[in-house]
Amino acid sequence: MTREHLPNCRPCQSFNVLHDGRTFHVTIGRFPDGRLAEIFLDVGKAGSAVQQHAEATAVLASIALQHGVAVETIIHAVAGGPLAAALEWAAKP
């Protein structure tokens, strides 16, 4: 599979997700057709292990989305975590 590139300028949407007592700030970007294309997670604790984990999982999810992996597949793979909670919210119609 090849990576589907995103336009340089694209709208984004931000929201918060509460998971395991922490608030995660989430920003998502979409492909022009509305499909989820990228996700960013921020816990607000720069340099902390939880922040590094949030950033790393979001990068991996974004790469997977841009290579055609279904959102539902990613949610299933990371079930129960903050990334899954954020993707579930973002995937709602």
DSSP string, 21-37: TEEEEEEEEE-TTS-EE
Is 56 among the domain residues? yes
Question: What range does the domain containing 53 cover?
Answer: 12-91
Please give the tally of structural domains in the chain: 1
Domain presence at residue 66: yes
In a domain, 7, yes or no: no
Q: What pTM value is reported for the model? A: 0.91
In a domain, 80, yes or no: yes
Tell me if 32 is assigned to some domain: yes
Q: Is residue 50 part of a domain?
A: yes
User: pLDDT tens for residues 28-56?
Assistant: 999 999 999 999 999 998 899 999 999 99
75: pLDDT strictly greater than 90:
yes
Q: What pLDDT shows up at residue 79?
A: 92
CA distance 4 to 65: 9
As a residue count, the chain comes to 93
Q: Does 1 map to a domain? A: no
3, amino acid identity:
R
Q: For residue 6, is it within any domain?
A: no
Hunting for tokens 């929201």 — which residue is that?
Answer: 15
